[in-house]
Amino acid sequence: MTAIVAFRYLAVSGGFAWLTRIRFPGLYRGLEPQIRREIAWSLASALIYGAPAGLLAWGWQQHGWTRVYSDVAAYPLWWLPASVLAYLLLHDAWFYWSHRWLHRPVLFRAAHAVHHASRPPTAWAAMSFHPWEAVTGAIVIPALVLAIPIHVGALFVVLTVMTVMGVTNHMGWELFPRRLVEGRAGKWLITASHHQRHHQQYGCNYGLYFRFWDRLCRTDQGLGSFAPAAAGGAGAVRGAGRDGTGRRDRGAGPGPAEHARAGAAVPDAQPGAFPGL
C-alpha cells in the first residue's frame, strides 16, 4: 500500500507540475533544491500513510474489519453521494482543528515548519510533512472506514478528491475559473487561492475542502495572491479577493512573525533537521 500511495503522489504531483511548466514556464525556476526536499519528505510520508491503509485493506479482505462494502445494493443508492460528503466533511473538520493545533509555536517548530519550508509551495509540496504531522493525516480515513459504511467506489472518489485538492492547492496558481473562485461557490469551497493566503500569512485559512470552519472561527482571511509569473493567467486571483481584507483577525492565531519568534527555522527545514526523525 505504501508503494500505491507513493505512486499516486508522484503521478498526480508530477502531472500538475508538468501542467504548471506548460501553463507558466519558469514559475518553479530556482526552486529545484526545495522541490527535492518536498519529494523526499513526501515519500517518507507515503510510508506512514501506507502503513495503516495497508493493514486495513488486508483486514477488510481477510476479516471484514472495516465498513467498506462492494455490493451497491447493500445500502440505499442515495448513500453513495451522502457517504462521500460525510467523509469529506469529517475529514475537513479533523484537518482544520489538527492543522490549527500544529500552528501552536512548539508544535510548529517541532513538525509543521517542514511543510511551511516550501516558500512558495509547489505541486510537489502536498505531502511534504514531518513524520509526526504525517501521522495526524494518515489516521483519518482509516478511522472513518472503521466507523462509517462506504462503497469501495465512493471511497475511491474521496481519495481522489483528497489527492487532487491537496496538490492543486499548493501549486502556485489557480486551476479553477474566476467565476467559481470568486462566486457563490467560492465563498464555501477551498481552492488554491484560499490556501495560498495561509502560506503567505500563516495564522489563517486552516481548512482543507470547505471554508465554514474558518468562517465560524473567524480565521478566514479571504483569497491570496500568486507570484507574478502566474498573475493574469486564466483563473488567477489577484490580491485578496472580494472578501479578503488582508487584516489579522482576532481568531486567526499566530502569523509569520510569531512563528519566527518561536524559533521555527522555516527556510531551513529539511530531513534530519528536527528532533524525533
Mean pLDDT of the chain: 85
Which tens digits make up the pLDDT trace of 23-75? 999 999 999 999 999 999 999 999 999 998 888 888 888 888 899 999 999 99
Terminal-to-terminal C-alpha distance of the chain: 22
Position 226 scores a pLDDT of 83
Position 245 scores a pLDDT of 34
Position 130 scores a pLDDT of 96
Q: What proportion of the chain, given as a percentage, has pLDDT over 90?
A: 73
- The answer as to whether 34 is a domain residue is yes
Distance CA 132, CA 276 (A): 8
Position 196 scores a pLDDT of 93
Structural domain of 22: 2-268
H or E segment at 150?
Answer: strand 150-151
Which tens digits make up the pLDDT trace of 101-120? 999 999 999 999 999 999 99
Position 58 scores a pLDDT of 84
- The answer as to whether 276 is a domain residue is no
Q: Which three cell numbers stand for residue 138?
A: 494518515
Top pLDDT among 262 and 129 is at 129
Which tens digits make up the pLDDT trace of 121-134? 999 999 999 999 99
Position 184 scores a pLDDT of 92
Position 227 scores a pLDDT of 64
Q: What proportion of the chain, given as a percentage, has pLDDT over 70?
A: 82
Q: DSSP secondary-structure letter at 122? A: -
Top pLDDT among 255 and 169 is at 169
- The answer as to whether 108 is a domain residue is yes
Which tens digits make up the pLDDT trace of 160-181? 999 999 999 999 999 999 999 9
* C-beta separation of 39 from 124 below 8 A: yes
Query: What is the average pLDDT across 239-263?
Result: 43
Q: DSSP secondary-structure letter at 189? A: B
In the predicted structure, residue 150 carries a pLDDT above the cut 50: yes
In the predicted structure, residue 252 carries a pLDDT above the cut 50: no
User: No. of H helices and E strands in the chain?
Assistant: 12, 2
**What are the phi and psi torsion angles at 74 (to 5°)?**
-65, -30
Distance CA 154, CA 32 (A): 36
Task: Tell me how many degrees the CA angle 48-40-129 measures, rounded to the nearest 5.
Answer: 50
Q: What is the CA radius of gyration of the chain?
A: 19
CA-nearest of 202, 216, 230, 223 to 24 is 230
Q: Specify the number of domains making up the chain.
A: 1
> How many CB atoms neighbour CB 145 within 10 A?
24
**Confidence tier at 242 by pLDDT (50, 70, 90):** very low
Residue with cell 518561536: 262
- The answer as to whether 275 is a domain residue is no
* C-beta separation of 77 from 166 below 8 A: no
In the predicted structure, residue 233 carries a pLDDT above the cut 90: no
